[in-house]
A and B are shown apart, each in its own frame.
Chain A
Amino acid sequence: MLKVEHVFKTFNPGTITEKKALKDLSLHLAPGDFVTVIGGNGAGKSTMMNSICGTFLVDKGSITIDGVDITHWPEHRRAKFIGRVFQDPMMGTAAGMQIEENLAIAARRNRRPTFAWSAPGSQRERFREMLASLGLGLENRLESKVGLLSGGQRQAVTLLMATMAEPKLLLLDEHTAALDPKTAAKVLEITNNIVTERKLTTIMITHNMRDALALGNRLVMLHDGHIIIDVAGEEKKNLTVPDLLKMFEKAAGREMTSDRLLLS
Chain B
Amino acid sequence: MNIVDLVVPTIAQGLLWSILALGVFLTYRVLDIADLTVEGSFPLGAAVAASMLTSGYDPYVSIVVAAFAGMLAGVVTGILTTKLKIPALLAGILTMIALYSVNLRIMGKANLSLLRVDTIFSLASFISDNRSMVALVVGLVAVALVVVANYWFFGTEIGAAIRATGNNPNMIRANGIDTDATVILGLLLSNALVAVSGALIGQDNGFADVGMGTGTIVIGLASVIVGEVLFGTRNFMNWLISVVLGSIAYRVVIAIVLQMGMPPNDLKLFTAVLVAIALVMPLIKKKLKADREVA
Contact = CB atoms under 8 A, between A and B. Distances in A.
Interface of A: 53, 74-77, 79-80, 84, 86, 90-97, 101-102, 104-106, 108-111, 113-119, 161-162
Interface of B: 155-161, 163-164, 167-168, 170-179
Contact of B168 (A79, A93, A111): A93
Contacts of A118: 155-157, 159-160
B168 A95 contact: yes
23 contacts: A74-B178, A75-B173, A76-B173, A76-B177, A76-B178, A90-B168, A91-B170, A92-B174, A95-B167, A96-B163, A102-B171, A104-B160, A105-B172, A108-B176, A110-B176, A111-B176, A113-B177, A116-B157, A117-B156, A117-B157, A118-B156, A119-B160, A161-B175
A106 B175 contact: yes
A76 B176 contact: yes
B178 A113 contact: no
**Which of A77, A90, A93 gathers the greatest number of chain B CB atoms within 10 Å?**
A93
Contacts of A113: 156-158, 160-161, 177
Given A92-B171, A105-B160, 17 more contacts: A75-B174, A76-B179, A77-B178, A79-B176, A79-B177, A91-B170, A91-B171, A94-B164, A94-B171, A95-B168, A102-B171, A105-B161, A105-B172, A109-B176, A113-B177, A117-B155, A161-B175
A17 B39 CA distance: 41
Nearest to A106: B175
A178 to B, nearest CB: 15
A106 B161 CA distance: 11
A86 B168 CA distance: 13
Contacts of A117: 155-157
Contacts of B173: 75-76, 79
A260 to B, nearest CB: 24
B168 A115 contact: no
A104 B179 CA distance: 18
Contact of B164 (A53, A77, A97): A97
A6 B186 CA distance: 40
A53 B163 CA distance: 23
**Which of B156, B157, B161, B176 gathers the greatest number of chain A CB atoms within 10 Å?**
B176
Nearest to B29: A96
- The 3 lowest CB-CB distance pairs between A and B, nearest first, are A113-B157, A118-B160, A94-B167
Contacts of A77: 176, 178
B38 to A, nearest CB: 23
Nearest to A54: B173
A76 B170 CA distance: 10
A96 B235 CA distance: 11
Nearest to B182: A113
Contact of B157 (A93, A94, A114): A114
B158 to A, nearest CB: 5
B164 A105 contact: yes
Contact of B175 (A74, A105, A116): A105
**Which of A86, A92, A94 gathers the greatest number of chain B CB atoms within 10 Å?**
A94
Contacts of B172: 94, 105
A97 B167 CA distance: 8
Contacts of A114: 156-158
Nearest to B179: A76
**Which of A75, A76, A108, A116 gathers the greatest number of chain B CB atoms within 10 Å?**
A76
Contacts of A105: 160-161, 164, 172, 175
A94 B170 CA distance: 9
A77 B242 CA distance: 37
Nearest to A115: B156
A88 to B, nearest CB: 9
Contacts of B170: 86, 91-92
Nearest to B177: A76
A18 B174 CA distance: 28
Contacts of B167: 94-97
A79 B157 contact: no
B168 A94 contact: yes
